[in-house]
Structure formats: structure tokens, C-alpha cells
Amino acid sequence: MGLIIFLFGLIFGSFANVVIYRLPKGKSVISPGSACPSCGKHILFYDNIPLVSFILLRGKCRFCKKKISARYFLVEMISGILFFLTYLKFGLCEKFFIYTFFIYCLMIVGFIDIDTFLISDVIVLPMIVLGLLFSLVPGIHNNLSGISSFLYSLFGVILGAGFLIFLSIFGKLVFKKEAMGGGDVKLLAMIGAFLGWKSVCITIFFASLLGTIISLSLIACRKKTMEDYVPFGPYLGLGALISLFYKGITFMGFFIN
């Protein structure tokens, strides 16, 4: 079953690549079929097998021989691994389907943010609503149920959005520049809707920690400067993943529902 879940993750990862590429451009993610970004030739079905086709074609288009970004392979692999890890954590139950959907959207939003420095409202806003609705599923927040579970998620939305709004205002007053984008505010609200307020705290902690470490490393390697904008969405996504897998475990003195 774990292998089947992993393979499904690869397939969904292949579609995620389409969404990541087309959604910011305002193109349909359904049609036309996949094509080479260099020559525009439609990709044959046997050249569209997740991971395998990329390896067999050595990362090049069959027709024009131009290189295809290794990120296509990476997204498929990440998707498969995350589907598998979620299955190991929760088993094949309601939580698995809800959280794999959540993770899948996090991944898409994160990669779009890397490319465009924008977080897609088309994904994030409906997901906030869905997260609140899913909070009513029995057992989604472990020992909470009904209105208690819903309020746990609702407070997560308020805390997530409120914290980043405060940080944005503080940054403008102190540093006289944009400290946090509106998309990040909505993304953390989405994370709060699905995971609850305690997980928002953990998400912020790990997102800030990872963001600082990676950013300073890039600056030290002269890949970035202090003035460069750094997309925070991917770090929030990583923080949310860590928080998700902490569910049911005591962390920093409190039990994560």
C-alpha cells in the first residue's frame, strides 16, 4: 500500500508541475496537453511517465534536445515522498486524504512563490474555507471535536493572519520597507485553518529558523544580498510540514492536537 501511495504521489506531482507553470500565466491547467517549453512540441504519453521519462531522456526534450528543468523531476519526487510519509503518519483514513490535499496545495503555492514572488489567491483563499470545514471532521484535531475543533482552526486563522499583519506593520514602521507580503498572511491563515493555532506557533518558529539559516548561507556564498527579496512562502510550507508531523506529539511544552 505504501508503494501504491508513493506512485500516486508521483502522478499528482506530475500534474503539480503543470499547475506551477501555467497558473501564474493565467493558462488552463486542463488543456492543451503538456508540451516542451522550448520547442512547443506536445509531449508523447510515454515521455510523460513521472521520474522514469526524465531519466530515460536524460533531462532533455525528445525533439529539440533542449534541457528540461530538473525541478520537474524534483517536484514529482517530493510529491511522492510526502504522500508516502503522510500515509506512514496517519494511515489510510480521513486525515490522510485531508492532509495530502493540504500538503499538495502547499507544495504548489511554494514553488509558484519561488518563481513569481506571488502566492496564488486562487488556491489559498478557498483552502482557508475548506480548512475550517474539514475541522468539523471527527478526530481531525485528535481529542477535539465539534465546535471545539472548529474554534481551534478558527483561532489558527486569526493567529496566523494577525501575527504576520503585526509583523508587516512593525517592519514598515521600523525598517521603512515591506517586511511581509499579503500573500504570506493568507498562506499562514490557511495553515492555521488546517492545523490549528498551536501548529501556527510551530510553523512560525521553524519557518523563521530555516529562512534565516538558508538566507544567511546564500548571502555568505554571494548568491543573494541583504537587499534581495526572499520569498517566505516556501519556508512557511516547510514549517507547516514539520508542524503537521508533530501532530499528536508534545512539543515545546504543549501537546499538538
Gap between the Cα atoms of 138 and 62, Å rounded: 49
Indicate whether 122 and 199 sit together in one domain. Answer: yes
pTM recorded for the entire structure: 0.91
pLDDT surpassing 90 at residue 153 = yes
Indicate whether 45 and 124 sit together in one domain. Answer: no
pLDDT surpassing 90 at residue 210 = yes
**104 lies in some domain:** no
Gap between the Cα atoms of 223 and 216, Å rounded: 10
For residues 187 and 142, the model is more confident at 187
**246 lies in some domain:** yes
pLDDT surpassing 70 at residue 176 = no
pLDDT surpassing 90 at residue 145 = no
Tell me how many domains the chain contains: 2
Q: Which of 119, 117, 71, 141 is nearest to 228 (CA)?
A: 117
Indicate whether 248 and 161 sit together in one domain. Answer: yes
- Reported confidence tier of residue 35, pLDDT bands at 50, 70, 90: confident
**63 lies in some domain:** yes
Mean of pLDDT over the chain: 90
Structure confidence at residue 135 (pLDDT): 96
- Reported confidence tier of residue 99, pLDDT bands at 50, 70, 90: very high
Indicate whether 190 and 230 sit together in one domain. Answer: yes
Q: What is the average per-residue pLDDT within 233-248?
A: 92
Indicate whether 129 and 78 sit together in one domain. Answer: no
**102 lies in some domain:** no
> Residue 32: is the preceding peptide bond cis (ω within 30°)?
yes
Domain that holds residue 244: 118-257
Percent helix, percent strand, percent coil in the chain, to nearest 5: 65, 5, 30
**106 lies in some domain:** no
Indicate whether 253 and 136 sit together in one domain. Answer: yes
